[in-house]
Amino acid sequence: MSETDWMSLVALLMVAVLVVPAALRRNRGVVLRNAALWLALSVALVWAYDRFGPFGN
């Protein structure tokens, strides 16, 4: 991994540390459902970018 990749990963973790606790506290009853929806959305976006993005195979 390059230095830029590591910096991006650290920035993502820092945002997660700030956002996740508040999200868990606010949505106690629906955390699993929301996590599954966000995961599905993320996977769909990554797939679409990989399939149709500027790095076509």
For the chain, the C-alpha Rg in angstroms (whole number) is 15
Pair 50, 42: CB distance under 8 Å? no
* pLDDT computed for residue 55 by the predictor: 67
Domains of the chain by residue range: 3-52
Residuewise pLDDT in 10s, the chain (57 residues): 677 778 888 888 888 888 888 777 776 667 778 788 888 999 998 888 888 877 655
Does pTM surpass 0.75? no
- What distance in Å separates the CA atoms of residue 9 and residue 18, rounded to the nearest whole number? 14
